[in-house]
């Protein structure tokens, strides 16, 4: 019998940082063409740069958290 799935709690908002939910993985590392890395932890990733925000907006696996 498996563990019941839980919805991750929203991470507190930081100034200028948007948070996104990863609909596919709970943990992974995103490496952008510029070499910038972003870590998905507990199904969420924080986007502080315009490049990362653009990547996440264009990728179907991610949706913005409110």
Per-residue pLDDT, 49: 94
47 phi/psi in degrees, rounded to 5: -110, 105
How much is the pLDDT for 66?
78
Domain ranges of the chain: 18-64
Q: What's the whole-model pTM score?
A: 0.74
Q: Which residue, 61, 60, 54, is CA-closest to 33? A: 54
Q: Which residues of the chain have pLDDT under 50?
A: 11
């Amino acid at each position: 019998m498996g563990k019941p799935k839980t919805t991750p709690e929203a991470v507190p908002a930081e100034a200028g940082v948007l948070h996104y939910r990863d609909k596919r993985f709970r943990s992974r590392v995103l490496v952008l063409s510029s070499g910038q890395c972003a870590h998905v932890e507990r199904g969420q990733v924080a986007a502080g740069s315009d490049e990362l925000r653009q990547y996440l907006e264009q990728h179907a696996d991610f949706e913005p958290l409110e």
